[in-house]
Amino acid sequence: MASEAAPPQAPAPEKASSKISPYGWYALTLVSAAQAMSLLDRQILSILANDIREDVGIGNAEIGLLYGTVFALFYALFSLPLGRLVDGWIRTRLLAICLAVWSFFAGLSAFATGFALLAISRLGVGIGEGATQPAANSIIFDALPKSRRGVGMAGLGIGLAIGLGLSMAVGGMVSQWWDMRVAAGAPSFGFSGWQFAFLVSALPGFPLAYLIYRLREPVRGGMDGIIAPKDPAPFKASANVLGSVVPGTNWFYLWHRKAGARQWAINLAGLAIILGVATLLVHLAQGFSPRPALQIWGAEIDPHWMQWGVAAFGAFVVLNLFQSFKLTDKPAYNVILSPSLILLMIAGGLQTAINYGVMAFTPTMLITQFGLTPAQAGAQFGLLAAALGIIGPLVAGPLADFLNARMGGKGMVWLMLLSLGISPFFGIWAYSAENVTDFYLRFSVYSLILTLWLPPAYALMLGLVLPRMRGITFSTYMIIQTLLGLGIGPYAVGIVADQNGGVLSQAIISINAVVPFLVLSLLIVLARYKRDEASILDRARAGGEAV
């Protein structure tokens, strides 16, 4: 089915069917498959970490940098202009192009023999994946009826789960199979097992990109009865977003947009505070877990400075983004900068720190603590994680729709609170297991509880903005999520593990220290959500939106 421009008419929301059309199911299948490829190419590093560490000669902290921080910087930064492009251009084409790009960079890891090329590969994957979730969520919100969006979010969650499981199963089994055949005398063609696994994981992305490119573009805002006008210059707007947020060029945009003295003062004072906090965190981290310098293109770089420098960069990008909204898109500024939405983003980011801290090092824990081979750990844990990740959203999606129908948005907030509030107790229980069978049983309970949060969180966040703002809203969430989740979770677990002699189970448990802050954020959302939801149109009109 060839891509085509969105038609100008759409049914009013109250007249729209509650049934998902064949096109809706097809679109959901393809974008969920893109989510699966995203997790496959992102997560495969975790099962290959042991072999990479031995081959390349790096530690757990450096693996955390590759898995989290290096990827996070470019993923978060480019999600913003790509998210703006999602809101103005053909989303199916954009998702297809980005999928092909990140698949290429994922395959580039197959040729890495040192930290530098691995870092380049990871940053390329990060750039390509920047459009994945904004585009996928925007497409699903316009392809499925409002009453079935919980199911849509569950479908995306299932895609993530399948990708997560495949990353470990494919990574572990392909790597071991390749190494065994080379050991038996077969030619290696210059690839070790972990390098060949990267190559295999990248290849399916290209045919999937072709299918998504040919997917018909849904009507933007059609399911809400708020048809978004055509964007006359989406690429120019996207480039302006990038220029507005990148440190250095942001000052040109402040000057060009005639920012007042107050805006300049906020920007420069914010930068000073961010740099001061980052410097303090570097010194604390160096004192807690000293690390040898990384050798990158002949230069020596302290991994703690790299970690918190990236975090500071991202924090300044967020500040620049909101200043850009205020100067160029006051309706988006008024709508997105609401307490409920920002706190939901923070809660999602803190939860992602737990998820990535857990998933980055659990395969290695199974290998080092319970004596599994990479193939065993990949097949067993990967397939278990995939199955649990499918079951959780299948429960959480319809449950979120049910609670929303009876309690409104507050019902979905309660589901998040229950899931995330009790999860640390089950996490401690799971990672205190003394044998692999007990671990798998306990982890199954823990994982099912953890997966309940995602469908209601996404539905809540995207329900708090206008249809034309969904791409940039989700990109804003992604940079906050990435800074808190990918940027901190794997790194924090890694330095704790390096400090405590490599006892990964204890290091993984330690990431649950973020839960009190997460629960507090959700309690405030519970008190405010109804008020913030009811005022969306008023805040947009106050900024000049014609709705």
pLDDT tens, N- to C-terminus, the chain (547 residues): 344 333 334 444 434 457 878 888 898 889 989 989 988 887 787 778 777 877 776 666 667 667 666 677 777 778 888 878 888 788 899 999 999 999 999 888 888 777 778 888 888 888 888 888 888 888 888 888 877 777 777 787 788 878 877 887 788 788 888 888 888 777 777 778 888 888 888 899 999 999 999 988 887 766 666 666 677 788 888 888 888 888 889 999 999 888 889 999 999 999 999 999 999 988 888 887 776 666 655 667 777 787 788 788 888 988 998 888 888 888 888 998 889 999 999 999 899 888 888 877 888 888 888 888 877 887 788 788 778 877 877 787 788 878 888 888 888 899 999 988 999 999 999 999 989 999 999 999 998 888 788 778 888 888 898 877 877 787 788 788 877 876 678 778 888 887 776 678 888 988 888 899 999 999 999 999 889 988 988 888 887 776 6
Q: Tokens for 459, please give them.
A: 């539905």
- Contact between 353 and 492 (Cβ < 8 Å): yes
pLDDT of 364-423, one tens digit each?
888 888 888 877 887 788 788 778 877 877 787 788 878 888 888 888 899 999 988 999
In the prediction, which pLDDT does 10 show?
Answer: 40
* C-alpha to C-alpha distance for 106 and 326, rounded to whole angstroms: 37
* C-alpha to C-alpha distance for 304 and 327, rounded to whole angstroms: 35
DSSP lists the bridge partners of residue 98 as none
- Contact between 5 and 92 (Cβ < 8 Å): no
Give φ, ψ of 260 to 5 degrees: -80, 175
pLDDT of 326-361, one tens digit each?
888 888 889 988 899 999 999 998 998 888 888 778
Count of beta carbons in the 10 Å neighbourhood of residue 462: 22
Contacts of 417 (CB under 8 A, 6+ apart): 519, 522, 523, 526
DSSP lists the bridge partners of residue 301 as 294
Q: DSSP string of 484-540?
A: HTTTTHHHHHHHHHHHTTS-HHHHHHHGGGGHHHHHHHHHHHHHHHHHHHHTHHHHH
Give φ, ψ of 50 to 5 degrees: -60, -50
In the prediction, which pLDDT does 294 show?
Answer: 63
Nearest-Å Rg of the Cα atoms of the chain is 22
* C-alpha to C-alpha distance for 98 and 507, rounded to whole angstroms: 34
Q: Tokens for 86, please give them.
A: 């999602």
* C-alpha to C-alpha distance for 153 and 375, rounded to whole angstroms: 31
Q: Give the residue among 288, 377, 338 at the shortest CA–CA distance from 461.
A: 338
Contacts of 72 (CB under 8 A, 6+ apart): 126, 310, 314, 482, 483, 485, 486, 487
The strand pair at 294-296 and 299-301 is best described as antiparallel
Q: Which helix (H) or strand (E) holds 275?
A: helix 261-288
User: Which 3-state string (H, E, C) describes 338-367?
Assistant: CHHHHHHHHHHHHHHHHHHHHHHHHHHHHH
Collapsing DSSP to helix, strand or coil, 294 comes out as strand
Q: What angle do CA 445, 393, 343 make, to 5 degrees?
A: 95
- Contact between 345 and 465 (Cβ < 8 Å): no
DSSP lists the bridge partners of residue 296 as 299
- Contact between 340 and 532 (Cβ < 8 Å): yes
* C-alpha to C-alpha distance for 378 and 46, rounded to whole angstroms: 10
Phi/psi region, residue 533 (left: phi>0; alpha: psi -120 to 50; beta: rest), is alpha
Length of the chain: 547
Exposure letters 472-488 (e unless 16+ CB within 10 A, then b) = bbbbbbbbbbbbbbbbb
- Contact between 385 and 161 (Cβ < 8 Å): yes
The superfamily CATH assigns to domain 22-221+329-542 is MFS general substrate transporter like domains (1.20.1250.20)
Contacts of 456 (CB under 8 A, 6+ apart): 150, 153, 396, 400, 403, 404, 412, 413, 415, 416
Whether pTM exceeds 0.85: no
